[in-house]
Amino acid sequence: MKKIKLILTAGAIFLVILPACKCSKSTMENKTVAVVENTTPVNITENNNLFALDLYKKIGNNQANLFYSPYSISTALAMTYAGAKGKTENEMAMVMHFPANNAEFYTKYNDVLKNINALNNGSTVNIYTVNSIWAQKDFKFRDEFMGILKNSFNSSVNLVDFIKETENSRIQINKWVETQTNEKIKELIKPGLIDYLTRMVLVNAIYFKADWQTTFDKQQTQKMDFRMDETNAVSCDFMFAEQEFKFYENEDGLKAIEIPYSSGKMSMLIILPKDNAGFSTLKKEINPDFYKKVNSALVSKKVKLYLPKFKIISEFELSDMLKQMGMPEAFSDRADFSGMTGTKDLKISKVIHKAFVEVNETGTEAAAATAVVMRVKSMPVAPPEFRADHPFMFIIKENTDNSILFAGNIYNPTKE
């Protein structure tokens, strides 16, 4: 039988940053924010897993196919977190399960990036994760912030002109994303998403391609019914393999299977409740403890595996979800990203995520991208000035129909 390749391309994350106008004294007079000590343990993998499952409960509550890259979303927001201060930092830490915003956090995140890239053997397993910065060429970011992005997140730096060449800048970033995601995510940044107020876009991409350690035989693929609910079913192609897999089943009929890749260091875990009611419960109640329990309870045994071929495209706007999860400050005019620029001139506007996955006999290919858009804050605009210090026309009118009753002009207001 031929080996089946699994190609998982997950990621490209965009962070678009724009400046704010000067604001009035009343707007800037915010209440003092009490900084709460962050005691979250520095275990980036566990922290990211906590966020992944929290987010799944938010975006996985509809009866629809779903695919997303929590690692990419987390990495983009981690880069944003590097510039967060005060209450904004506290809320992001709580929702993202980030440890304290300090050197240890950046070191640990850098270790995660290195560990992922170290899995690449150049043949049966190809995997890498990369970050890039796209900054307005004449806009000043703090050296400390830029140093964190370059040294801890291994970000490359690209200077562009969002002000005068907005469209060209958008095209450049989109092209980079296409290249890093094997051209599976195109037009991530749609026209209008960035404009002349954009000052920075931060991008994360992760690419993965590997062979299954097990194999599927195309001759074994057959049509079977997939039961969408108790009354509706669709016929689709199911792949088949009968061999040793790590397997789990509990007293409620929930099953799990682990399908390893050729290196044995990575795998796909599929969790299958007994029925649709069980799946609804799983989506609501899945948590890190359950996830750990399933992984630790897997036992090798011979299993007949039937896996449907499928293709999914998912797209989300995550701003409201992240607010509901507990970080509204970052999206408000009270946002404090002064770690980026030294002033409180930036806020997050949108967090957009799009993902693609296709599974068939020859493999699996997937891609995902996230755009975190930071825009100018809504600040009061200075009132316009009307200085009638030169000749002007004037009209006396009736306002219902705007009927002109009198008209004239003034060349010298001192003369009668």
pLDDT of residue 332: 93
User: Which residue segments constitute the domains of the chain, with CATH numbers given?
Assistant: 3-211+312-375 (3.30.497.10), 222-308 (2.30.39.10)
- Average pLDDT, integer, range 368-380: 69
Beta bridge partners of 300: 246
Per residue in 347-358, pLDDT (tens digit) is 888 887 878 777
Tell whether the model's pLDDT for residue 162 goes beyond 60: yes
Tell whether the model's pLDDT for residue 52 goes beyond 60: yes
Ordered alpha helix ranges (H), 154-306: 166-180, 276-285, 288-297
Tell whether the model's pLDDT for residue 128 goes beyond 90: no
In angstroms, the CA 91 to CA 35 distance is: 10
- Average pLDDT, integer, range 239-266: 87
pLDDT of residue 22: 39
Q: Residue 201: pLDDT band by 50, 70, 90 thresholds?
A: confident
For the entire predicted model, the pTM comes to 0.82
Q: For 52-61, 88-97, 398-407, which range has the lowest pLDDT when averaged over its residues?
A: 398-407
- Give the number of other Cβ atoms within 10 Å of residue 21's Cβ: 13
Task: Give the per-residue SS3 of the chain.
Answer: CCEEEEEEEEEEEEEEECCCCCCCHHHHCCCCCCCCCCCCCCCHHHHHHHHHHHHHHHHCCCCCCCCCCHHHHHHHHHHHHCCCCHHHHHHHHHHHCCCCCCHHHHHHHHHHHHHHHHCCCCCCEEEEEEEEEEEECCCCCCHHHHHHHHHCCCEEEEEECCCCCHHHHHHHHHHHHHHHCCCCCCCCCCCCCCCCCCCEEEEEEEEEEEEEEEECCHHHCEEEEEECCCCCEEEEEEEEEEEEEEEEECCCCCEEEEEEECCCCCEEEEEECCCHHHHHHHHHHCCHHHHHHHHHHCEEEEEEEEEECEEEEEEEECHHHHHHHCCHHHHCCCCCCHHHHCCCCCEEEEEEEEEEEEEECCEEEEEEEEEEEEECCCCCCCCCCCCCCCCEEEEEEECCCCEEEEEEEECCCCCC
Sequence-separated (6 or more) residues with CB below 8 Å from residue 86 = 33, 35, 336
What share of the chain has pLDDT > 90, as a percent? 33
DSSP annotation of 34: P
Tell whether the model's pLDDT for residue 2 goes beyond 50: no
Tell whether the model's pLDDT for residue 256 goes beyond 70: yes
Q: Parallel, antiparallel, or unpaired for β 222-227 and 267-272? A: unpaired
pLDDT of residue 282: 87
- Average pLDDT, integer, range 304-309: 88
Helix, strand, coil percentages in the chain from 3-state DSSP, rounded to 5: 30, 35, 35
- Average pLDDT, integer, range 319-325: 94
Higher pLDDT: 192 or 364? It is: 192
Per residue in 381-393, pLDDT (tens digit) is 455 665 666 775 5
- Per-residue tokens: 248: 């789990």
Higher pLDDT: 109 or 399? It is: 109
Q: Residue 89: pLDDT band by 50, 70, 90 thresholds?
A: very high
Sign of CA dihedral 111, 112, 116, 117: negative
